[in-house]
Amino acid sequence: MLTVHHLGKSQSERIVWLCEELGIPYDLKLYQRQPNFQAPAEYKALHPMGLAPVITDNSVTGGDLVLAESGAVVDYILGRYGKGALRPGPEDAAFADYLYWFHFANGSFQPAVMRVLIARRLEAPAEHPAVQIGVTRLGMMLAMLDTRLRDVPWLAGAAFTAADIMPVFTLTTMRHYAPYDLTPYPNILAWLQRVAARPAYQRAMQKGDPGMELLLG
Ligand SMILES: N[C@@H](CCC(=O)N[C@@H](CS)C(=O)NCC(=O)O)C(=O)O
């Protein structure tokens, strides 16, 4: 059985959502952050990185699998259980866009928001070049996302894919930690409403973070 170890208010919400979109059987284990926002010791013990997401899977031959890193976990679940759903293949016209937006999410976008969050926590002056670069890059990325979503309903094109699952955490739950304004980006906001209307997203958030305000606007 596949087990999703979900740390509250964390990037593992993607994995709960993915499993709900696929409609596959999985166990969900919930963990809460400590007062310092770190994962609890039992979560840290799951994997050497000790960061969410982590999945375990005892249905593989040759011993139990423990896997971390959002992109790897999403690819693993799609490859092993997805039966071709939620990701276009290399022959599909949407393939390159799918790859780009899937990897943009944690390769560029989430680190950009983290950079702004760290600068704020360190109370770095706004005119510090590192802060300015961070803020400028984040604005550039949001504008790029908004332009993309002006032209297509979903990031890979016409169809919802895992490339849509990857960046939503950074645009929603992450804003509990690093607030930023999405009102200048109407196409991102419209896409978040399409996300919010998905029953699988609603189920995932209800199961994983019941009671958490969903920052979809
Ligand atoms: N690139 C990693 C980032 C993992 C990560 O930073 N997870 C955070 C939650 S959003 C975490 O586990 N924080 C708890 C801690 O630092 O102890 C991934 O996507 O899996």
Residues 6+ apart with CB under 8 A from 15: 4, 6, 53, 55, 70, 73, 74, 77
Mean pLDDT, the chain, as a whole number? 97
Report which protein residue has its CA nearest ligand 1's atom 9.
10
Q: Is 11's C-beta closer than 6 angstroms to any atom of ligand 1?
A: yes
Q: What is the pLDDT of residues 74-84, one digit of tens each?
A: 999 999 999 99
Q: What is the pLDDT of residues 193-213, one digit of tens each?
A: 999 999 999 999 999 999 999
Distance 49 CA to ligand 1 centre (A): 9
Q: Is 103's C-beta closer than 6 angstroms to any atom of ligand 1?
A: no
Distance 42 CA to ligand 1 centre (A): 15
Indicate the SS3 state at residue 124.
Answer: coil
> What are the boundaries of each domain within the chain?
2-86, 95-201
Homologous superfamily of domain range 2-86: Glutaredoxin (3.40.30.10)
pLDDT of residue 60: 83
pTM of the model: 0.97
DSSP 136-204: HHHHHHHHHHHHHHHH-SBTTBSS--HHHHHHHHHHTGGGGTS----TT-HHHHHHHHHHHT-HHHHHH
- Within 10 angstroms of residue 102's Cβ, the number of other Cβ atoms is 23
Is 63's pLDDT higher than 90? no
β-sheet bridge partners, residue 65:
57
pLDDT of residue 16: 99
Q: What is the pLDDT of residues 143-156, one digit of tens each?
A: 999 999 999 999 99
CA distance 217 to 214: 9
Distance 51 CA to ligand 1 centre (A): 4
CA distance from start to end of the chain: 36
In this structure, which CATH number among 3.30.830.10, 3.40.50.2300, 1.20.1050.10, 1.10.260.40 belongs to the domain 95-201?
1.20.1050.10
- Within 10 angstroms of residue 65's Cβ, the number of other Cβ atoms is 15
Is 61's pLDDT higher than 80? no
Q: Is 34's C-beta closer than 6 angstroms to any atom of ligand 1?
A: no
Give the residue, out of 10, 76, 118, 165, with the most ligand 1 atoms within 8 A of its beta carbon, to mutate for a pocket test: 10
Which tokens belong to 121?
Answer: 């926590």
